[in-house]
């Protein structure tokens, strides 16, 4: 069986995004609902599942419901399994640069809070004197020239041991955890 992904999926991201498990998919659940009817989506689903004729896929609302209730560690294991599987099947080989995968590592603020939601939550003092709490993550992602992104690791940043958030210091400490 040729496990190479259909060419259409590299130019139309809807072919793989449903398998990404990343909450940063462009668009919305409605867009995902639309994209999963594409022929390339069905072809890639058959290849990735190593089956043919799969006649139904979970609705994006069902996936969101599930995502809200499953343990984070299970998502991490699933993402690692899927990425490892794609690499072993050589499905990602066309995206190598000089024989290696390109990995991007970047920090992102994902939400803010007026009150401390958990101990050691990153926070900063605003110009008006208020304290703003926020969730900040460092992501390691395998990236392709076609815009497809697979999450390899995500780590939350914390202020543990520090009075206020120091972006560069926090990112360097978390980077060591991701790579270690």
Quick one: 85 and 2 in the same domain? Answer: yes
List the beta strands (DSSP E) in the chain: 102-113, 123-125, 131-143, 149-156
Number of domains in the chain: 2
Last residue of a domain, which of 70, 91, 112? 91
The pLDDT assigned to 90 comes to 93
pLDDT computed for residue 93 by the predictor: 94
pLDDT confidence of residue 13 = 35
> Does 112 share its domain with 177?
yes
Which of 8-12, 41-45, 86-90 reaches the highest mean pLDDT?
Answer: 86-90
Q: Which of 84-93, 98-107, 155-164 has the lowest mean pLDDT?
A: 155-164
| Per-residue CA distances from 176 to 7, 131, 170, 171 (Å) | 36, 28, 10, 9
pLDDT at residue 37 is higher than 50: yes
Tokens representing residue 125 in the block: 């003092």
How confident is the model over 12-27, as a mean pLDDT? 40
Residues 123 and 83 in one domain: no
pLDDT tens-place string over residues 117-139: 888 788 888 999 998 988 888 88
The pLDDT-based confidence of 94 (bands split at 50, 70, 90) is very high
Write out the residue range of the structural domain in which residue 116 sits.
95-180
Provide the pLDDT for residue 85.
92
Q: Show which of 55, 74, 91 is a domain's final residue.
A: 91
Could you give the CA distance from residue 130 to residue 159 in angstroms, rounded to a whole number? 17
Q: Between the CA of residue 150 and those of 98, 104, 113, 140, what are the distances in Å?
A: 19, 10, 28, 9
Listed in sequence order, the DSSP H helices in 89-166 are none
Q: How far apart are CA 126 and CA 145, in angstroms?
A: 38
pLDDT at 134: 87
> Are residue 28 and residue 84 in the same domain, yes or no?
yes
Looking at the fold, whether 80 and 116 belong to one and the same domain comes out as no
pLDDT at position 161 is 66
> 75 with 121, same domain?
no
Residue 5 above 60 pLDDT? no
Q: What is the pLDDT of residues 138-179, one digit of tens each?
A: 889 999 988 888 888 888 877 666 666 666 567 777 888 888
């Amino acid at each position: 069986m040729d496990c190479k992904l259909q060419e259409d999926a590299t130019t139309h991201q809807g072919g793989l995004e449903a398998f990404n498990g990343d909450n940063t998919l462009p668009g919305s659940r409605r867009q995902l609902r639309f994209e999963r009817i594409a022929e390339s989506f069905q072809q890639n689903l058959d290849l990735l599942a190593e089956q043919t004729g799969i006649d139904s896929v979970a609705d994006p609302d069902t996936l969101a419901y599930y995502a809200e209730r499953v343990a984070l560690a299970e998502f991490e294991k699933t993402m690692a399994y899927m990425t490892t599987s794609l690499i072993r099947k050589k499905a990602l080989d066309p995206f190598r640069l000089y024989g290696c995968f390109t990995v991007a590592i970047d920090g992102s603020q994902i939400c803010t809070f007026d009150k401390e939601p958990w101990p050691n939550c990153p926070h900063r003092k605003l110009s008006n004197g208020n304290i703003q709490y926020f969730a900040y993550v460092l992501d390691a992602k395998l990236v392709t020239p076609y815009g497809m992104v697979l999450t390899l690791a995500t780590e939350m940043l914390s202020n543990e041991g520090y009075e206020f958030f120091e972006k560069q210091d926090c990112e360097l400490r978390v980077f060591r955890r991701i790579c270690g």
